[in-house]
Structure 1
Amino acid sequence: MALMFPRLAQNFIRNGYFPTDEVTLGRILPWLEGGQRCRVLDPCCGEGTALAEVQHALRESGTEVESLGIEFDRERAWHAKQLLGQVVHADIHDTVVAPRSIGLLFLNPPYGQAVSDKAQTGDEAKAVRLETLFLRRCLGMLPVGGVLVLIVPHYVLLEDEMASLLARHFDQLRCFRAPEQRFKQVVIFARKRKGDRVTAATLAILEAFGRGERTDELPEACDGEPYRIPETVTLAATQQALKAIRLEPEQLAAEVQRLHKSTLWPQWQVHLGNKVLPPRAPLRDLRPWHLALALAAGQINGIVRSQDGRRWLIKGDTLKVKHTHVERTEDDKGIVTEVKTLTDRFVPCIRGFDLTPGPSFGEQIEIS
Structure 2
Amino acid sequence: MALMFPRLARNFARNGYYPTDEITLERTLQALTPSSTGRMRIFDPCAGEGVALAETAHALGRDRVEAYAVEYNRERADHCRALLDRVLHSDLMDTIVTRQAFGLLWLNPPYGDLVADHSGASQYQGKGRQRLEKAFYQRALPLLQYGGVLVFIVPHYVLDDELCGWLCNHFTELRIYTAADPTFRQVVIFGIRVRRQDLARPREVAQVREYLQAIGAGVQNAETLPTTWPWEPYAVLPASTDLEHFYRVTLEPEQFNQEVKRLRGLWPDFTLHFGQSGVQPRPPVRELSRWHLALALAAGAISGVVKSKSGRVLVLKGDTYKDKVRKTEFTEDQDGNVSEVRILTDRFVPIIRAWDMTPGSPNRGCVLTISSTADTPPEPEIPVPETAPVPTYAAPFEPGRLLLTQAVQYLVENRSINLALYLDRHLAGDWGEISDDDRSSNQRALKTGERLLSGYDIDAEGETRLWILTEANRCATTILLPSDY
TM range (shorter): 0.5 to 0.7
| CA deviation after TM superposition for structure 1 residue 124, in Å | 6.8
Give the count of matched residue pairs: 253
In structure 2, the residue matched to 1:320 is none
| CA deviation after TM superposition for structure 1 residue 220, in Å | 1.1
Matches within 5 A, 1:1-368: 4-7=1-4, 12-35=12-35, 36-59=38-61, 64-116=64-116, 128-157=130-159, 159-195=160-196, 199-212=205-218, 213-235=220-242, 239-240=244-245, 242-251=246-255
Structure 1 residues 189 and 127, CA gap change in structure 2 (3 angstroms): closer
| CA deviation after TM superposition for structure 1 residue 162, in Å | 1.1
Q: What CA distance in whole angstroms lies between the structure 2 residues aligned with 1:248 and 1:264? A: 18
- 1:117/1:127 contact within 8 Å kept: no
Q: What CA distance in whole angstroms lies between the structure 1 residues aligned with 2:207 and 2:134? A: 21
Q: What CA distance in whole angstroms lies between the structure 2 residues aligned with 1:124 and 1:200? A: 21
- 1:153/1:185 contact within 8 Å kept: yes
Q: What CA distance in whole angstroms lies between the structure 1 residues aligned with 2:54 and 2:259? A: 21
1:106-161, CA deviations, whole angstroms, 9 ceiling, x for partnerless residues?
0000011011589867767885011111111111111210100000011111x222
- 1:102/1:146 contact within 8 Å kept: yes
Structure 1 residues 166 and 246, CA gap change in structure 2 (3 angstroms): same
TM-score using structure 1 length: 0.62
Q: What CA distance in whole angstroms lies between the structure 1 residues aligned with 2:164 and 2:59? A: 30
- Does the residue aligned with 2:102 lie in a helix, a strand or coil? coil
- Bigger Rg over Cα: 1
CA RMSD of aligned residues (A): 3.0
| CA deviation after TM superposition for structure 1 residue 246, in Å | 1.6
Structure 1 residues 54 and 94, CA gap change in structure 2 (3 angstroms): same
The one-letter amino acid paired with 1:73 is N
1:157-196, CA deviations, whole angstroms, 9 ceiling, x for partnerless residues?
1x22211110111110000011110000000000001017
- 2:176/2:222 contact within 8 Å kept: no
| CA deviation after TM superposition for structure 1 residue 59, in Å | 1.2
Q: What CA distance in whole angstroms lies between the structure 2 residues aligned with 1:156 and 1:22? A: 23
Structure 1 residues 165 and 127, CA gap change in structure 2 (3 angstroms): closer
| CA deviation after TM superposition for structure 1 residue 250, in Å | 3.8
Structure 1 residues 222 and 125, CA gap change in structure 2 (3 angstroms): closer
Gaps of 5+ in 1: 269-368
Q: What CA distance in whole angstroms lies between the structure 2 residues aligned with 1:254 and 1:80? A: 19
Q: Which has the higher contact order (CA 8 A, sep 6+)?
A: 1
Q: What CA distance in whole angstroms lies between the structure 2 residues aligned with 1:193 and 1:55? A: 23
- 1:94/1:245 contact within 8 Å kept: yes
Q: What CA distance in whole angstroms lies between the structure 1 residues aligned with 2:252 and 2:14? A: 20
| CA deviation after TM superposition for structure 1 residue 208, in Å | 2.4
| CA deviation after TM superposition for structure 1 residue 204, in Å | 1.4
Q: What CA distance in whole angstroms lies between the structure 1 residues aligned with 2:121 and 2:66? A: 40
In structure 1, the residue matched to 2:348 is none
Q: What CA distance in whole angstroms lies between the structure 2 residues aligned with 1:214 and 1:7? A: 28
1:80-125, CA deviations, whole angstroms, 9 ceiling, x for partnerless residues?
1111111111111111110000110000000110115898677678
| CA deviation after TM superposition for structure 1 residue 15, in Å | 4.8
- Does the residue aligned with 1:103 lie in a helix, a strand or coil? strand
Q: What CA distance in whole angstroms lies between the structure 1 residues aligned with 2:13 and 2:190? A: 25
Q: What CA distance in whole angstroms lies between the structure 2 residues aligned with 1:38 and 1:254? A: 31
The one-letter amino acid paired with 1:228 is A
TM-score using structure 2 length: 0.48
- Does the residue aligned with 1:147 lie in a helix, a strand or coil? strand
Q: What CA distance in whole angstroms lies between the structure 2 residues aligned with 1:256 and 1:147? A: 40
- 2:106/2:150 contact within 8 Å kept: yes
1:238-269, CA deviations, whole angstroms, 9 ceiling, x for partnerless residues?
x23x2111233444677899xx8xx999xx9x
